[in-house]
Structure 1
Amino acid sequence: MAAVRKPVLLGLRDAAVQGCPKGPAAWTASKLGGVPDALPAVTAPGPRCGGCAEPLALVVQVYCPLEGSPFHRLLHVFACARPGCGGGGSGTRSWKVFRSQCLQVPEKETLNAQDSAPAVAHPVPSGEGLAVHAEVPQFQPYYICVAEEEDYGNSVDLEHARSLLQDYQQREGVDMEHLLSLCSYSDGDEKYEKTNIKSGDQTFYKFMKRIAACQEQILRYSWSGEPLFLVCPTSEVSEIPACSGCGGQRTFEFQLMPALVSMLSSANLGLAVEFGTILVYTCEQSCWPPNQQTPMEEFCIIQEDPDEFLFK
């Protein structure tokens, strides 16, 4: 019996963020670019690059409380936007992921706490340092809206996939018509599994086929689901480090997609990040110690795009 695939939510770029939202309107929003918003009583992360020591730019902020959990939950992904530093060559030194949580309380209680709370600065994470916003490289901020992948299942436009595969065939000598004929089959179909595509090419083709229905997706979210690999996974995927907080296992949560690269624009010339896909793994228990006031660092894997120009 085939395994049941966990549902996948797709993140799509929405309207531009106007002004500087504050409070719950800010930290309950998912967005790309801008500056990180902080949950109540938790410091906003302000990491620096492990390669060049410069402040990292916010790539995405994802508001993602878990079902049945009493916590608000916010994930931030950062990357180095300096030329030559943000790619896979620098590995995880130039990419950082942080998880912040706080208990959900009634709105009235929150307002009362804010009214009575003294105006004190939040503690700064050791070794991190919070850079002044003006010094931190910023991409233009846009909200991220969410759609269910299955809603696109019956509306696949294969024209883009056909164009990509034509280029692919010219370079690799692969039978394009045979590949396209397989697009109507599910991933587990034997006809797909028995194609004589090279293993690396098969992974790349599977990736292209899966995203063909929604080419503009910038994020795929599937808590404890299966990542969509762009290239054959290495041993790194089987060696995900344990959570630094509780020592438990980490699980896949979401990944950033190639379409996001061209959407990360900035008024500052020369800022850019390049990647194929970024796989984000977080604590399976989503642990959060009492009175924790600083974000907890999570783990990501960078897969470089073997055919970067295809996604421009």
Structure 2
Amino acid sequence: MAGNECGQNKSETGIVLGFVEEVEPWHLRSSQFPSKVGGKPAWLSQSDLPGGLELECEKCHLPTALLLQVYAPILGQDRSFHRAIFVFCCKTPSCYSRNDNRCFKVFRSQLARKNDFYPYDPPPDEDPKESESDALKSGIKLCGLCGCIGPKVCSRCHAVNYCSKEHQTIDWKAGHKNECAGKEQTCSDHLNTFIFPEFELVTEPEELPAKDEKLGKTPEEKQGLELHPSDDGSAMEEKELQDMAMHETEDSKVFQKFKLRTAPEPEQVLRYCRLGSPLWVSSEHIPKDKDIPKCTCGARRLFELQVMPQLLNHLHVDSPGDSIDWGTLLVYTCEDSCDHGNKYSPEFLWKQDIGGDGTD
């Protein structure tokens, strides 16, 4: 994932699109600096990880799960030679009320090229043949369920760590109870249903259709802009069309723009453009400058990336009642990408849902 500002990208729009792709698990380990969806976090800095209250949903106060992480170094800025954005979200469907961002958490981690955790040279593009472990090289033990800091340990086998009592209970019921026989093991071998399905995020620059084409217009949509016979053979009067256009709401215009812009690449799950502008799904609930809190260093937070609703198709979260849902998620990060050493810096997420008369 390119971490340059929008104007420096070579694509026509300066926007990088992200798509999910299945790969072998070793591609998604920390040593490969991945961009990915779901699974356990591939932590960048291996010390000073966020945990506890920092990763709790502010509505139900349960631990959140990794939604995605984006590797986004900033060219020319040594302290951001390695840089990643981590987005976590709650797994409780009822927490997803309209335009409410309290069930999301965002963190930024960055390292210089010379650092305490990784070689100076890029990693080889081959399987390192290392066994995966629920512990970092720094010695920090990770939760066997979600991959975050795991200060608690199973009192029976003393081999599996957990971030919370809730995750220990989930893992116990899911199968650890049957596996836990006091023998050495690094994590439960049963299916982990807490984390989201894991994919690599692959990217390509956004390219618009040729200038003489209607962006994203289908033949049927183009025909709808002209007079055409109805089923009974009569023609719709031009005045009627003009009246329909006048009654089109601002919100529907914004949503139509969203659909037309994404139509050439309907499978996109991410749009990246640091210091650029997002693609809104609604004219409602668009933040003003005062709505985006400044970074802890005092600098402004500016737009960096947005998560698209198409990602929901890959997460297996549909349910008859409440469901994990969003129109789009906008991530704002420190304009200066300030330096906090090995610590993870909290950033800000704005949730925008599709317009309408929805209520919390």
TM-score, normalised via structure 2 length? 0.63
1:143 is matched with which residue? 200
CA contact (8 A) 1:6 1:222 kept: no
Pairs aligned (count): 262
The 3 A distance-change label for structure 1 pair 108 and 60 is closer
Q: CA deviation at 1:119?
A: 5.2
Quick one: distance in 2 between partners of 1:59 and 1:253? 16
The 3 A distance-change label for structure 1 pair 296 and 44 is same
Question: Structure 1 residue 247 and structure 2 residue 298: aligned?
Answer: yes
Quick one: distance in 2 between partners of 1:86 and 1:20? 32
The 3 A distance-change label for structure 1 pair 100 and 277 is same
Q: For 1:170-209, what aligned pairs fall within 5 Å after superposition?
A: 177-178=224-225, 196=246, 197-209=248-260
CA contact (8 A) 2:70 2:85 kept: yes
1:153 is matched with which residue? 209
The 3 A distance-change label for structure 1 pair 262 and 44 is farther
The 3 A distance-change label for structure 1 pair 246 and 217 is same
Q: CA deviation at 1:239?
A: 2.0
Q: Secondary structure at the match of 2:21?
A: strand
Q: CA deviation at 1:122?
A: 8.3
CA contact (8 A) 2:21 2:201 kept: yes
Q: CA deviation at 1:36?
A: 1.2
Quick one: distance in 1 between partners of 2:320 and 2:29? 28
TM-score, normalised via structure 1 length? 0.71
CA contact (8 A) 1:81 1:272 kept: no
Question: Structure 1 residue 102 and structure 2 residue 111: aligned?
Answer: yes
Question: Structure 1 residue 35 and structure 2 residue 40: aligned?
Answer: yes
**1:50 counterpart (50, 58, 61):** 58
1:81 is matched with which residue? 91
Where does the alignment leave 5 or more consecutive residues of structure 1 unmatched?
A: 112-116, 166-174, 180-194, 308-312
CA contact (8 A) 2:91 2:324 kept: yes
Q: CA deviation at 1:202?
A: 0.9
Quick one: distance in 1 between partners of 2:282 and 2:274? 21
Quick one: distance in 2 between partners of 1:118 and 1:209? 47
CA contact (8 A) 2:286 2:352 kept: no
Question: Structure 1 residue 68 and structure 2 residue 76: aligned?
Answer: yes
The 3 A distance-change label for structure 1 pair 23 and 205 is closer
CA contact (8 A) 1:230 1:303 kept: yes
**1:277 counterpart (316, 320, 328):** 328
Q: Secondary structure at the match of 1:298?
A: strand
Q: CA deviation at 1:242?
A: 3.7
Q: CA deviation at 1:137?
A: 2.6
Quick one: distance in 2 between partners of 1:97 and 1:257? 16
CA contact (8 A) 1:58 1:79 kept: yes
Quick one: distance in 1 between partners of 2:258 and 2:342? 39
CA contact (8 A) 2:28 2:42 kept: no
Q: Secondary structure at the match of 2:268?
A: coil
2:178 is matched with which residue? none
Q: Secondary structure at the match of 2:105?
A: strand
Which residue identity does 2:140 align to in structure 1?
A: A
Where does the alignment leave 5 or more consecutive residues of structure 2 unmatched?
A: 1-6, 123-135, 143-147, 151-162, 171-192, 227-244
Larger radius of gyration: 2
1:93 is matched with which residue? 102
Q: CA deviation at 1:121?
A: 3.2
Deviations 1:62-119 (CA, angstroms, capped at 9, x unpaired): 0000121222111011111212113436x221011111111112865589xxxxx995
More helix as a share of residues: 1
Q: Percent same amino acid at aligned positions? A: 29
